[in-house]
Chains A and B, each alone.
Chain A
Amino acid sequence: MSTATVLVVAARHASDDAIEAHADALRAAGAELTVVDLRPARLAERGARSALRAVRETADSWAAARRLTADHRQLVAHADLVVAADRTAVAAVWRCRRWNPRAELVNGVPAALQALGAR
């Protein structure tokens, strides 16, 4: 049986290819998948680990959470599994607990694959 799954992507470094690879893996594991793309308009390389990058990622995560729309809420409300594809998407996924009290909210695609495998 397929699992209604929402994959939330928010990192500015996430490429379309990477998102597609994640989506393929989740579908192969039994997800009926919808991708919610919250990436900023200007994409960029991730860059080296630094305090500046940490600050930027944190600010990006707040901005991504604010980009959730009413349509996104509808999607999430009917999901069984909501996945933060990257660290920047965690704040947006965390907000989803308001609209869906029963869905599993997980951090990372590997954790989502584990959750799907356990169903």
Chain B
Amino acid sequence: MTRPPHLLYLAWGFPPSRAGGVYRALATVNAFADAGWDVTVVTASRETFERYTGADASLEERVDPRVVVRRIGFDWPAQDTDIRRYSPLRVALPPVWARLRRLKDERTFPEPSYGPWRAPLAAAARAVHDDKPVDLTLATANPHVTFAAAHDLWRAAGVPYVMDYRDAWTLDVFSGRTTTSARSRVSRWQARLLADAREVWFVNRPLRDWHARHFPAVADRMVVVENGWDPALLPPVPPAVPHDGGLRFAYLGTVTPKVPLGELLAGWRAAMADGRLPAGSTLTLGGHLGYFAVPQGPLAEVLADAATDGVRYVGPVAKAQVADFYANADVLVLALGTGRYVTSGKVYEYVATKRPIVAVHDPANATTDVLADHPLVARIDAVTADEVARALAEGAALVDRQDEQTRATLDALADRLRRDRQLAPRVAALRPREDA
């Protein structure tokens, strides 16, 4: 009797972490489990996410019950806010402490903060393989230490591995510049890991092509596995109900310093002040401020200042409440950092809501391709307050332009951009052949 193939999934961020890449991780393991694979995940402890990134307990319930999750500890001294635990050196000479810490972190793998995780992660991966032989390892990054652990298992036991780049490693996706020299430790590690990989996944075409250009020998194993929206996480959002008063604009997503918040708020104020937006319109922002559990103070202050202009910040929105958040919006605002390699997970959800979108991002951003066929998008030519104001007004006009043809186009686009549609071909292709 043949046994089901066994996938080992290595991820630092996994439910209950609320970090952006978690949805891809969740969908990936569920897709493999659905396709009949035995799936074991090795990830960080729950406490890691509660302390550092913020946790969304509702996400953990979304993991397919057939998936086995093994958690290992993760220590992150640089993010520790408990001053009692600080050493005298950290208090007296913080830059020296930080430098020594970084050297220690990078001893076994060149990745600050995450390097020390390589040994426990590789040991856990080996233990999973010893308990039940693994047919394929899929490692998702960042952090990239997961790639190293997958490589360790390949070297020790010959288990092939897939590298899933949710972001880039040696490319700054915002500036388009490389972040390390070709002879650096990071570059050498990346080249070695790519050379031995069974397959390498990227979230968009520009990222895939950049890597193919720099690592031509691996190009034929590099594929695009786009993000998508998850029907299991986002129930159908009802059409906006006609209501009195102004329009309800909404943004949902992590607000990082890369998000052009200043331009968005300035454009909003301008469009409200000169009457391009109906009086009484509101802009509601939901999501975490910054990547970590502790919110970024300066961002919070900027949003607090805008409260008098109809801007409201409602804080993080649990995944279970996301559909309600969208249901209370007439127009969605997609504000993203600049860069042609920048991609967004949220854009797919935005498409699924079938609402008009004001795309507040650099036109060269990879997200522009995702929205290319969307009939209700107000785009900006440049990330400036004037352009944002103009696009917000255009977005307001799109609310009334929803005919049958538009709805059919939106239905087709939303269906094409489901996450399972992106993953299915890879899950099928990676299944070990019966005769192998």
How distant is B78 from chain A, measured CB to nearest CB, in Å? 11
Say yes or no: A58-B83 contact (C-beta < 8 A), given A110-B295, A110-B297, A114-B293: no
Q: How many residue pairs, one in A and one in B, have C-beta atoms under 8 Å apart?
A: 53
Mask, A79-109, CB within 8 Å of B = 1, is 0000010010011011001000000111111
Chain B residues with CB under 8 A of A113: 295
Residue pair B301, A106 in contact (C-beta under 8 Å): no
In the bound complex, how far is the Cα of B83 from the Cα of A51, in angstroms?
Answer: 24
Closest to B94 in A: A58
Q: Is the CB of A44 closer than 8 A to any CB of chain B?
A: no
Chain A residues with CB under 8 A of B81: 106-108, 111
Q: Is the CB of B93 closer than 8 A to any CB of chain A?
A: yes
Say yes or no: A87-B94 contact (C-beta < 8 A), given A94-B86, A108-B81: yes
Say yes or no: A93-B83 contact (C-beta < 8 A), given A21-B301, A58-B94, A58-B95: yes
B-side interface residues, number (CB < 8 Å): 18
Mask, B137-159, CB within 8 Å of A = 1, is 00000000000000000000000
Q: Is the CB of A54 closer than 8 A to any CB of chain B?
A: yes
Residue pair B293, A90 in contact (C-beta under 8 Å): no
Q: Quick one: which of A90, A104, A108 contacts B94, CB cutoff 8 A?
A: A90
Residue pair A107, B83 in contact (C-beta under 8 Å): yes
Chain B residues with CB under 8 A of A105: 82-84
Residue pair B83, A106 in contact (C-beta under 8 Å): yes
Mask, B67-90, CB within 8 Å of A = 1, is 000000000000011111010000
Q: Is the CB of B1 closer than 8 A to any CB of chain A?
A: no
In the bound complex, how far is the Cα of B88 from the Cα of A61, in angstroms?
Answer: 13
How distant is B256 from chain A, measured CB to nearest CB, in Å? 15
Q: Is the CB of B182 closer than 8 A to any CB of chain A?
A: no
Chain A interface (Cβ < 8 Å from any Cβ of B): 21-22, 51, 54-55, 57-58, 61-62, 84, 87, 90-91, 93-94, 97, 104-111, 113-114
Chain B interface (Cβ < 8 Å from any Cβ of A): 80-84, 86, 91-95, 293-297, 301, 304
18 chain-A/chain-B pairs, Cβ below 8 angstroms: A21-B301, A90-B83, A90-B91, A91-B91, A93-B83, A94-B86, A94-B91, A97-B84, A105-B82, A107-B80, A108-B297, A109-B297, A110-B295, A110-B296, A110-B297, A111-B294, A114-B293, A114-B294
Known: A58-B93, A90-B94. 7 other contacts (CB 8 A): A54-B94, A58-B95, A62-B92, A106-B81, A106-B82, A107-B82, A108-B81
